[in-house]
Copies of this chain bind each other. A is one copy, B any other.
């Protein structure tokens, strides 16, 4: 495992490969070639091999990859061989949806804590998790060994909430608010802007006008 610098695009594809492999396991397939995976997820076979090569030699020349084995490797590489407790801040429309979204749980992401500042939301339940006031952040992070935070508050509150997360010892933040956030180098930050994706479609449609 020479982990020097892995392209982010590679990591994202590994995630996609792992989902495809899971599908193959369900179908009872025992072996795949890089070409099969490539076809299944829409990339080139060379790309698949190169991506895997960053992490080791998982296949057998002339044969391919054992599905269950490769799946296990990928899940381990992605850090998905464990459950991640997550704190979600902002129980509005988007936050509620994410809290209830099954897709996270399926991949081992457990939203164990949901916080908000709105008294009307505090005390309500999303699934079986109760919305609590922002003040308990530090305690919950410690208790549940939380390292990942999801920010779904309005733009105006985003930086303040982020500072608190950092303060509480959170190591990685997924930001859904449309605000550029400042975090120390030691904290990993990813931004997701749902509108951007529609805007790329809009751009492409608008091209031929």
Contact = CB atoms under 8 A, between A and B. Distances in A.
A61 to B, nearest CB: 27
A42 B200 CA distance: 20
Contacts of A206: 77-79
Interface in A167-209: 171-172, 174, 178, 180, 188, 190, 192-207, 209
Given A79-B209, A94-B103, A150-B198, 16 more contacts: A11-B199, A14-B203, A16-B196, A19-B178, A41-B180, A79-B203, A79-B205, A80-B202, A93-B97, A96-B97, A104-B194, A104-B195, A188-B201, A188-B204, A188-B205, A190-B200
Interface string A1-36: 001000010011011100110000000000000000
A8 B200 contact: yes
A64 interface: no
A11 B188 CA distance: 24
A23 to B, nearest CB: 9
Report the copy number of this chain in the oligomer: 2
6 contacts: A20-B180, A93-B97, A94-B101, A94-B103, A97-B98, A190-B197
A108 B127 CA distance: 32
Contact of A207 (B3, B109, B199): B3
A205 to B, nearest CB: 6
Contacts of A16: 193, 196
A4 to B, nearest CB: 11
